[in-house]
Amino acid sequence: MSKCDKCEHKSVIMLQHGPLCSKHFVSYFENKVFKTIQKFKLINRDDIICVATSGGKDSLTVLYLVKQYLKRQGMDSTTLTALAINEGIADYREKTLEDLRKFCNDYDVDLTVATFEEHLGATLDEAYPKINKITGKKPCNICGVWRRYLLNKYAKKLGATKLVTGHNMDDESQAIMMNMCKANTSLAAKLGPMGGVAAHEGFTRRIKPLYLCSEKETRLYTFLKQWKVEYTECPNVIASYRAEIRDSLNQLEEKYPGTKNGIVKSFLDMLPLLQSRELNKDSKYSGPQTCALCSEPSNATECNACKLKTILDGVNNE
Ligand code: SF4
Ligand SMILES: [Zn+2]
Ligand SMILES: [Zn+2]
């Protein structure tokens, strides 16, 4: 490795604008996150922040840096809470939750853990084969619906006005490509550093402070901070469409560095157009309905989480 661009020390990473040593990389990375929060106006002074966290590298990083940001801005960092969902994935989630409990304890953050089992009557491992038998859905499709459902429900319960997620540039470039490949422009309009097209009281607005940070940068940051982080992936990720898109983008990035950054930056240019098209299209749309079964916001009479639960209950009663 060559010398850091800013000092005499050995570099630990080669970025597009040059090599950086560990000290200069850490401050570059932290500044990038703080600037992202400010540039996209992700946090207001009166916001109550809840961080959706799994104990993985991205969520620990965002939890730590949002807390630092609040402190730097002279805002009340004691109201910040962490929220984790235990989906019930054997040999995986318990390990990351263990790291998370320790982390929250070390950094004095209140942690709430909601489980699929308690709220939906089954772990993901139990529910997946039963729901798959009827619908053909993959684990991530089921997990995603229930996870979003519980995150929103609990964020509201905790009084949060913003829900922080650890989505990084790699995640976002994958989501953009997935929606493009499936011609899902309505869903694409909900992406961006602040998720959703318009604010609605039924939903807690999601924000992504790591939006402009690559997976590689976040990994190096957690390594340099010497946090205990489980780097293993969820065993279900191999079965997902996202994993295929991820691998293709990684290949392109290897060959043409800056590809993911290019996808995200071009998407940011297009996003206002996509969002205004959605708002105009939905001018007669009066916002989400209330699910007839659970009273949570929903795009139909019953929410997707309840629909999946009904299918599961049906199989259990066979
Ligand atoms: S990889 Fe799929 S199953 Fe695993 S936690 Fe993520 S969404 Fe859930
Ligand atoms: Zn340096
Ligand atoms: Zn419901």
pLDDT tens digits along 26-48: 999 999 999 999 999 999 999 99
Which pLDDT value is given to residue 246?
Answer: 94
DSSP code string of 248-293: HHHHHHHHSTTHHHHHHHHHHHHHHHHHHHHHHHTTT----EE-TT
The answer as to whether 172 is a domain residue is: yes
Q: To 10 degrees, what angle do helices 215-225 and 57-72 make?
A: 70
> Any idea of the CA torsion for 149, 152, 155, 160, to the nearest 10 degrees?
180
Determine whether the shortest distance from the Cβ of 239 to ligand 1 is under 6 A: no
111 lines ligand 1 (CB under 6 A): no
Which numbered atom of ligand 1 lies nearest the CA of 234? 4
Residue type, 296: E
Which ligand minimizes its atom distance to the CA of 2? Answer: 2
**CB 144 near ligand 1, within 6 Å:** yes
Q: What is the mean pLDDT of the chain?
A: 91
pLDDT tens string, the chain, 318 residues long: the values are 689 999 999 999 999 889 999 999 999 999 999 999 999 999 999 999 999 998 889 999 999 999 999 999 999 888 899 999 999 999 888 888 988 999 999 999 999 999 999 988 999 999 999 999 999 999 999 999 999 999 999 999 999 999 999 999 999 999 999 999 999 888 899 999 998 766 667 789 999 999 999 999 999 999 999 988 877 788 888 777 888 999 999 999 999 999 999 999 999 999 999 988 887 875 555 567 889 999 888 888 999 999 999 999 998 887
Ligand closest to 141 (CA) is: 1
Q: With a 6 A CB cut-off, is 163 part of the ligand 1 pocket?
A: no
The answer as to whether 21 is a domain residue is no
Q: How far is the CA of 150 from the centre of ligand 2 (A)?
A: 43
pLDDT at 100: 92
Q: Which residue has the tokens 């969002």?
A: 275
Place of tokens 């043409």: 256
CATH code of 50's domain: 3.40.50.620
Do the bridges between strand 205-207 and strand 162-164 make them parallel or antiparallel, or are there none, so unpaired?
parallel
Q: Is residue 258 included in any domain, yes or no?
A: yes
For 132-144, the pLDDT digits (tens) are 999 999 999 999 9
pLDDT of the residue at 251: 97
pLDDT at 297: 85
Q: Using DSSP, state whether 78 is helix, strand or coil.
A: helix
pLDDT at 135: 93
In the sheet that holds 81-86, the strands lie side by side as 110-115, 81-86, 49-52, 162-164, 205-207
CB-ligand 1 contact for 90 (6 Å cutoff):
no
Residues at Cβ < 5 Å from ligand 3 ion: 291, 293-294, 303, 306
Residue 139 Cβ inside 6 Å of ligand 1? The answer reads: yes
Residue 238 lies in a domain: yes
Helix locations, the chain, DSSP H: 22-39, 57-72, 93-106, 116-120, 124-135, 139-157, 169-181, 185-188, 215-225, 241-255, 259-281, 304-316
Partners of residue 20 on adjacent β-strands:
13
Q: In which residue are the tokens 């997946």 written?
A: 128
Residue of minimum CA distance from atom 1 in ligand 1? 237
- Please check whether residue 297 lies inside any domain of the structure: no
pLDDT (0 to 100) of residue 253: 95
Q: Is residue 85 part of a domain?
A: yes
Amino acid residing at 51: V
- Residue whose Cα lies nearest atom 2 of ligand 1: it is 140
pLDDT of residue 232: 76
Q: Is residue 300 part of a domain?
A: no
The reported pLDDT for the residue numbered 285 is 58
Residue 136 lies in a domain: yes
Our count of domains for the chain comes to 1
pLDDT at 284: 57
What tokens were used for 269? 């240019």
Q: What range does the domain containing 128 cover?
A: 40-286
Q: Which amino acid is at 31?
A: N
> For the whole model, what pTM was predicted?
0.92
Distance (Å) from CA 307 to ligand 3 centroid: 7
Q: Is 303 within 8 Å of 119 (Cβ atoms)?
A: no
pLDDT (0 to 100) of residue 5:
94
pLDDT score at 199: 61
Q: How many Cα atoms sit within 13 Å of 100 on the Cβ side?
A: 28
- CA gap 53, 165 in Å, rounded: 7
